[in-house]
Amino acid sequence: MTSSPLALAIDLGGTKVEAALVDASGRLLPASRFRSPTGRASSSEELAASVTSVVVSALAALPEGAELLGVGIGSAGPIDVQEGLVSPLNLPAWRGYPLRDLVVSLLPDVPVVLRMDGQCIALAEHWVGAGQGCDNLMGMIVSTGIGGGLMLGGAVIPGPTGNAGHIGHVEVGGFDDICDCGGIGCVEGIASGPKTVAWANRQGWVGSTGEELSAAYAAGDEIAIAAVARSGRAIGQAIASATALVDLDLIAIGGGFSHVTPDIFGYINAAIQERVQFGFVTKAVAVPSALSGDGPLIGSAALIHRSQLVR
Ligand SMILES: [Zn+2]
């Protein structure tokens, strides 16, 4: 039995889609969380079936008499926030897919809000994570890709298309790695988990996963250390550039590869500190996310529970 009104949260990513019921204090309802695979090879019909199955399952966990306030959807980008369309870079079957309409067809009687996953992370960090009390922050994910979202002046900034905060595709000086988006030297093309591993491989390191790179780093492997330092530096340069543009105080970083070693935050913050003439840049601090693996779903739920912060 719950007295708190609930939001249905959906998180659509490149490998899975998840849904859960989340209460007004940002807690997932036990046994309401469901996941289904997505992936590059999935057809559009398979992706729609995965979304439908997790939504129907989570909805079935709604306690009798509980109020459902609405549905928040966080999606990998790019998206079209006006039309409710998604085109996740790592889900090629969906280009301009009407995800919001699909969810509305399942839940026609409540509001359905779609935003980029990075904006949901920013909301979650501000609500229950490392950004509590901070109104000028970026939530950032460093994983198979690099994503993010901005909160400025206490409000999440979607931009006219919903794609503001795409920090992964900010170009970084001194690097010429080719990015899938068409850019050269995008931080995602340098410093994501797979790209860091690939760089280490090119230097002669033998291993294939971020976990192996993490172990090699901890064991003092010189190439692993150089690879992590290079990626941390690139992330820090991207953050410094973003801070020069929008005057951030805090950057909360989560995602699998952010755990490669706690030292990565040292490399990131050292790069930020190089902008010695700009105190407004060097004040920015990169910290580990304080969210658990529930973070993306909490952020999607915040689109409903914290709607006053969502533009
Ligand atoms: Zn790019």
Are 298 and 9 within 8 A, CB to CB? Answer: yes
Q: Is 79 helix (H, G, I), strand (E, B) or coil?
A: strand
Strands 250-254 and 285-288, bridge-based pairing: parallel
Q: Is 94 helix (H, G, I), strand (E, B) or coil?
A: coil
Are 289 and 123 within 8 A, CB to CB? Answer: no
CA of 242 to the centre of ligand 1 (A): 15
CA of 240 to the centre of ligand 1 (A): 17
pLDDT in tens, 190-237: 999 999 999 999 999 999 999 999 999 999 999 999 999 999 999 999
pLDDT at res. 150? 97
CB neighbourhood size of 105 (10 A): 11
Look at 11-15, 91-95, 177-181, 278-282 and tell me which has the smallest mean pLDDT: 177-181
CA of 157 to the centre of ligand 1 (A): 20
**Mean pLDDT, residues 306-310 taken together:** 94
CA pseudo-torsion sign 19, 23, 25, 30: negative
Are 10 and 2 within 8 A, CB to CB? Answer: no
Alpha-carbon distance of 53 to 34, in angstroms, equals: 9
CA of 183 to the centre of ligand 1 (A): 5
CA of 146 to the centre of ligand 1 (A): 10
pLDDT in tens, 61-74: 999 999 999 999 99
**Mean pLDDT, residues 112-133 taken together:** 96
Q: How far is CA 193 from the centre of its chain?
A: 14
CB neighbourhood size of 192 (10 A): 27
DSSP assignment, residue 251?
E
CA of 179 to the centre of ligand 1 (A): 5
Q: What is the dihedral of CA 59, 65, 70, 76, to 10 degrees?
A: -30
Alpha-carbon distance of 35 to 54, in angstroms, equals: 6
Alpha-carbon distance of 228 to 260, in angstroms, equals: 8
142-169: string of b/e by CB count within 10 Å (b at 16+)? bbbbbbbbbbbeeebebeeebbbbbbbb
Query: Residues with Cβ within 5 Å of ion ligand 1?
Result: 169, 179, 181, 183, 186
CA of 188 to the centre of ligand 1 (A): 6
DSSP assignment, residue 14?
S
pLDDT at res. 178? 87
Q: How confident is the model at residue 1 (pLDDT cuts 50, 70, 90)?
A: very low
CB neighbourhood size of 209 (10 A): 12
State the average pLDDT for the chain. Answer: 95
CA of 150 to the centre of ligand 1 (A): 18
CA of 305 to the centre of ligand 1 (A): 32
CA of 82 to the centre of ligand 1 (A): 23
CA of 138 to the centre of ligand 1 (A): 18
CA of 141 to the centre of ligand 1 (A): 15
For residue 2, pLDDT beyond 70: no
DSSP assignment, residue 38?
-
CA of 168 to the centre of ligand 1 (A): 6
User: 206: which 2 tokens?
Assistant: 């033998």
CA of 181 to the centre of ligand 1 (A): 4
CA of 77 to the centre of ligand 1 (A): 12
CA of 298 to the centre of ligand 1 (A): 27
CA of 145 to the centre of ligand 1 (A): 10
pLDDT at res. 89? 85
pLDDT at res. 3? 64
Are 286 and 174 within 8 A, CB to CB? Answer: no
Q: How far is CA 61 from the centre of its chain?
A: 26
Q: What DSSP element (H or E) covers 11?
A: strand 6-12
pTM of the model: 0.93
Q: Tell me the percentage of the chain whose pLDDT exceeds 90.
A: 94
Taking CA atoms, 26 is separated from 80, 123, 252, 266, 304, in Å, by 26, 11, 18, 30, 11
